Amino acid sequence: MEFSTSTTTTLQTLKTQALAVGIFQDGILSPAADVLDQASGGAIRAVVQSEFDAVPGAILTLHNPAGVTADRIILLGLGRQDSLTAATLAKAHQAFAAYCVRAGVGTAASALCALNVHDANLADCARTTARLVSAAVYRYDRTFSQAKPAVKLRSFVLHLSRAQAAQAKTALAQGAAIGAGVNLARLLGDLPPNLCTPTYLGQTARDLAKQFKTLKAEVLDRKKIEALKMGSFLSVAQGSVEPPAFIVLRHTPSAPAARKAAPIVLVGKGITFDAGGISLKPGPGMDEMKYDMCGAASVLGTMRTVAELDLQREIIAIVPSCENLPSGTALKPGDIVTSMSGQTIEILNTDAEGRLILCDALTYAERFKPAAVIDVATLTGACVIALGHVNSGLFSQDDTLADELLAAGRQAQDPAWRMPLEDAYQDLLKSNFADMANIGGRPAGSISAACFLSRFTGKYRWAHLDVAGTAWLEGKQKGATGRPVPLLTQFLLGQCSA
């Protein structure tokens, strides 16, 4: 996908198969729409008054408009003019991109980013637009007997003033790279668990390291994991014949001066299929447990974006990956395991396995003396109950880090909501037989899970993102979303410019 800006061509003479302009409610035309209306002899105003309700997300196509070079004018609803937000602009571009893909459009242009929104700047809007358009061209066809027809959309242009175009150029490149990272995360999530195994994730990391010279991959096998005494991680892996993998993917920036700062570490939960172990999950919906590695997928997707942009900060991804299955060798309720940190854990429920693999990864992260560690995991159904499918859950004892991540989520249109993490919740994890239990009961389930992880993060700044409600869609729209790649990338962009 090629993204560019147009500044010299007048809007009515812009050659493209689809040209998008904004319409506000109460029949108010955006400046770009007004230009095209005058060129077409009032065709736009006439159709707006007769049949178009410009609510956010509404879309209407005018074919072969008189006086305009574009094959189609696409009217996009923007709601009330006095309350235009970046989210409304993003919704409109999402609808436009989806239309272009459905209609087989090869070239498209939009004048929407020239509009002022009160809660974002032009760069933010351009970055989000490129990311959403990139996401629109994603097609999963890996396991169909016949390939789906190729998406024709190959070029997307923002029509802007010369000054605006200068602001948008870098942001468009960033958005395209974020979109590529999102789509990698979506592909990894959508692949079936018999293909996307821990070994496959390890090979994905190696492939990324071959593709981008700033990346270096290391994949530890069971023997090396045992040597590190990761007893908690291995206890989950012991129920499956599929070998575990402990993946380390390291981005070293091209500029030597940028290598002096302490690295930022991303940790992603990589359970490539979660049957619950001996604490077996109910059958309905269990197919969606292939998405229990979406934390790992989002971290690998983020690293792809980081490498393409060559962010000037050392970034390290850690992915502990295995399956959680019931078998004669599987972890049992009542077992006690010893983590890499030396802390012991009583297993009360084998379906609370994500924290068991993450805790050893969080201990492993200490060796890098990181500036911050952020783990990403489809960790708890309780977080879905608390926040639904809109916000990812954010947990941290560091206010500054939490605020930076929340701000990055708002800026990237990939929101998170901060959840409590007071010490009083730690009592839920008390055990009569070990240093801690691996669950704390039904009340505050997502919080007690975060409390568990916090016990392994005392040597650095840390935040936890529970993406159980945001990493994939259910039902007829079932598929991975690629979240929180936009949030993570926006945070890292901010850290590089700080």
The enclosing domain of 369 has a CATH number of 3.40.630.10
Residue 171 lies in a domain: no
Residue where a domain stops, chosen among 128, 161, 194: 161
The residues pairing with 315 across neighbouring beta strands, listed in sequence order, are 251, 264
- Is residue 133 domain-resident? yes
Overall average pLDDT of the 33-40 stretch: 97
* Domain CATH number, residue 59: 3.40.220.10
272-299 average pLDDT score:
97
Predicted confidence at residue 8, as pLDDT, reads: 82
Would you state the pLDDT for residue 107?
98
Structure confidence by residue, pLDDT tens digits, 405-445: 999 999 999 999 999 999 999 999 999 999 999 999 999 99
Residues 305 and 341: beta-carbon distance below 8 Å: no
pTM > 0.75: yes or no: yes
399 lies in which domain range? 180-497
Cβ(86)–Cβ(133) below 8 Å? no
Dihedral-angle region of residue 355 (phi above 0 means left; psi in -120 to 50 means alpha; beta otherwise): alpha
* Residue 341 placed within a domain: yes
Look at residue 447 in the predicted model and tell me its pLDDT.
98
Q: Same domain for 193 and 136? A: no
172 lies in some domain: no
Final residue in a domain of this structure, among 161, 188, 211: 161
**Does the annotation mark 152 as catalytic?**
no
Same-domain pairing of 132 and 216: no
pLDDT category, 498, cuts 50, 70, 90? low
Instruction: From 97, 131, 161, give the residue that closes a domain.
Output: 161
Number of domains into which the chain is organized: 2
Which pLDDT does position 436 carry in this prediction?
98
pLDDT digits (tens, 9 = 90+) for 384-405: 999 999 999 999 999 999 999 9
Residue matched to tokens 């509009």: 115
**Mean pLDDT calculated for residue range 330-359:** 98
Least confident interval from 3-12, 151-160, 211-220: 3-12
141 shares a domain with 210: no
Active site residue 355: yes
Give CB contacts under 8 A, 24+ apart, made by 8-15: 9/159, 10/35, 11/35, 11/36, 11/39, 11/111, 11/159, 12/36, 12/39, 12/67, 12/68, 12/69, 13/69, 14/69, 14/70, 14/109, 14/157, 14/159, 15/69, 15/70, 15/107
Q: What are the pLDDT digits (tens) for 276-288?
A: 999 999 999 999 9
As a whole number, mean pLDDT of residues 157-169 equals: 95
> Does residue 90 sit in helix, strand or coil?
helix
- Does any domain span residue 169? no
Our CA dihedral for 436, 441, 445, 450, rounded to 10 degrees, sits at: 0
Residue 314 has pLDDT above 60, yes or no: yes
Mean pLDDT of the chain: 97
Catalytic residue among 169, 206, 281, 332: 281
In a domain, 104, yes or no: yes
Q: Are residues 196 and 334 in the same domain?
A: yes
Query: Which pLDDT value is given to residue 9?
Result: 84
Q: Are residues 356 and 454 in the same domain?
A: yes
329-345 per-residue burial string, b: 16 or more CB within 10 A, e: under 16: ebbeeebebbbbbebbb
Residue 41 predicted with pLDDT over 90 = yes
Q: Are residues 322 and 205 in the same domain?
A: yes
Rounded percentage of the chain residues whose pLDDT exceeds 70: 100
Q: Are residues 352 and 427 in the same domain?
A: yes
Q: Are residues 215 and 138 in the same domain?
A: no
Any alpha helices (H) in 395-444, and if so which ranges?
Answer: 399-411
Do 133 and 228 fall into the same domain?
no
- 192 forms beta bridges with none
Q: How many residues does the chain have?
A: 498
- Domain assignment present for residue 33? The answer is yes
Residue 390 has a pLDDT of 98
Contact between 465 and 302 under an 8 Å Cβ cutoff? The reply is: no
Same domain? 27 vs 71: yes
Task: Examine the domain organization and report whether 359 and 492 are in the same domain.
Answer: yes
DSSP count for the chain of H helices, then E strands: 14, 20
Same domain, 89 and 197: no
Which of 186, 304, 313, 355 is flagged as catalytic? Answer: 355
Classify residue 469: in a domain, yes or no: yes
